[in-house]
């Protein structure tokens, strides 16, 4: 459905440009945007490679397991339906750590792995479990302390102070995550999940 919406928007935009006689401006803009997209992607590859490499080293060194043990009391309160030894805890912690560091792209594989593990423990396979819903709420609203990807984009765009967004990012994402945790708790309490 979303692809259809995007296609419709593109076709309407091209038709409007042709109708108003500004098709050359649209063509130039498309080519400029494609070039900029490649430049930004190449620069972000460096930033993402650095952080993903550090995350991989941390995982191999056992730091992730240690982080999972340290954060275990909080994570267990957020996911009361999971077993004590659930293999989903590791990927959940990794996903949240990557999101906290503003590495949404690095968080994605861990999020997929966490959902796979949560699905294995799900008693009703065609319905999302309470743990899956909680994880989705946390994943989409996670607090971001270091918005590394956005800082990288701002650096590439020539921002004078690319890190000036850190304070507002922390505040906005903290509000979002707090709201998500509260709504998730109230939903579980109301439905006794």
Give the count of beta carbons closer than 10 Å to the beta carbon of residue 184.
20
Structure tokens at 153: 């984009």
156 alpha-carbon distance from chain centroid: 21
For the chain, how long is the longest CA-to-CA vector? 65
Residue 193 vs residue 174, higher pLDDT: 174
pTM, two decimal places: 0.68
Q: Which residue has the higher pLDDT, 19 or 64?
A: 19
Query: pLDDT tens, 134-165?
Result: 999 999 999 988 887 788 788 878 889 988 99
- Which two structure tokens, joined as six digits, stand for 14? 């091209």
What are the E-state strand segments in the chain?
A: none
Residue 171's pLDDT is what?
Answer: 95
Residue 106: the pLDDT is: 73
- Lowest mean per-residue pLDDT among 67-71, 98-102, 105-109, 155-159: 67-71
pLDDT tens, residue by residue, 95-104? 888 888 777 7
Q: Is the pLDDT of residue 54 over 80?
A: no
Q: Distance between CA atoms of 141 and 71, rounded to whole angstroms?
A: 18
Nearest CA-CA partner of 136 in 119, 124, 151, 148 = 119
Residue 51 CA: distances (Å) to CA of 12, 61, 92, 146, 162: 40, 15, 18, 11, 18
Contact 94, 45 (CB under 8 A): no
């Amino acid at each position: 459905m979303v692809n259809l919406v995007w296609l419709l928007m593109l076709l309407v935009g091209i038709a409007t440009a042709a109708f108003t006689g500004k098709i050359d401006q649209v063509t130039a803009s498309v080519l400029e945007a494609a070039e900029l997209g490649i430049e930004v992607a190449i620069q972000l590859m460096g930033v993402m490679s650095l952080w993903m490499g550090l995350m991989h080293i941390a995982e191999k060194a056992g730091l992730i397991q240690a982080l999972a043990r340290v954060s275990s009391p909080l994570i267990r309160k957020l996911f009361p339906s999971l077993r004590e030894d659930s293999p989903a805890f590791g990927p959940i912690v990794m996903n949240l750590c990557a999101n906290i560091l503003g590495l949404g792209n690095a968080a994605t594989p861990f999020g997929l792995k966490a959902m796979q593990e949560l699905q294995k423990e799900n008693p009703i396979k065609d319905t999302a479990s309470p743990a899956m819903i909680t994880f989705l709420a946390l994943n989409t609203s996670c607090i971001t302390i270091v918005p590394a990807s956005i800082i990288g984009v701002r650096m590439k765009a020539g921002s004078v102070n690319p890190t000036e967004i850190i304070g507002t990012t922390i505040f906005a994402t903290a509000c979002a995550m707090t709201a998500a945790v509260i709504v998730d708790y109230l939903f579980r309490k109301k439905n006794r999940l």
